[in-house]
Amino acid sequence: MIAVKQTMNAIDDGISKPSNRIQFRGRRYGRKLRSRMRDLIYERLPKHEIYLDKTEGQVDPASFFETQMRAHWLEIGFGGGEHLAWQAKHNCDIGFIGCEPFVNGVASLLRHLDGDRPSNVRIFPDDARPLLDRLPVGCLERIFVLFPDPWPKRRHANRRIIQWETVETFYRILVPGGELRLATDDPRYQAWILTRMTAHVGFRWLARCARDWHARPLDWPQTRYEAKAISAGRRPAFLCFERL
């Protein structure tokens, strides 16, 4: 398992070693993991890991799971994993794919899954973009991008996950009627997202009034990032779009 070895190298050596040719901007590791968290990476990540071989071509999400799933959902940058773990537990017939390059976040998700039967969760412990490029048309029913790094400095705006190109990618890989859920507590990033999403003719914003995007849906559990934003006096925005 190449990705697991690279993940552990990042932990053991304190050096970030990207596993793809795309330049990654962001953290791959944080505080030194405690022994229990390290054990989760070693013992449980190989059971959940998605490995992309070097051959070109599309990869069907169904091939990631041992049993047939009703549909497949993707979360990009799952952070501590609490949202992904909650969704997986409450939607046992859905195959969940989580992308997260931050080693500590991967260990946190594995901790949330520990003790359960996580047959419907697969993890891509790296930048999501190489995986997105390999997914076929209309293979996902739902995509989550919750509280991504806003990269607030103007010169860093091109590092944001939401770009014109990624919006087009989301349109390509979502099924008609599929849903894209976005969240941010940064007003400038909110405007950035809405500019790109509302300009795409293939997406319909589901909000009808301001309350709709300031109220978190019932099937959307709170994350640590949302709680942190609220405690700091910031008002999160919950943006839901339907793929037409």
Residues taking part in catalysis = 149
Q: Is 132 left (phi over 0), alpha (psi -120 to 50) or beta?
A: alpha
SS percent in the chain: helix, strand, coil, step 5 = 40, 20, 40
CA atoms within 13 A on the CB side of 75: 27
Contacts of 208 (CB under 8 A, 6+ apart): none
Q: Nearest CA to 3 among 139, 108, 122, 159?
A: 122
What are residue 71's DSSP bridge partners? 94
Torsion on CA atoms 95, 99, 100, 101, rounded to nearest 10: 140
Where does 14-81 have alpha helices with state H? 35-48
Residue 146 · residue 109 · CB < 8 Å: no
Report which residue type is found at 75. E
Please say whether the beta carbons of 183 and 146 come within 8 A.
yes
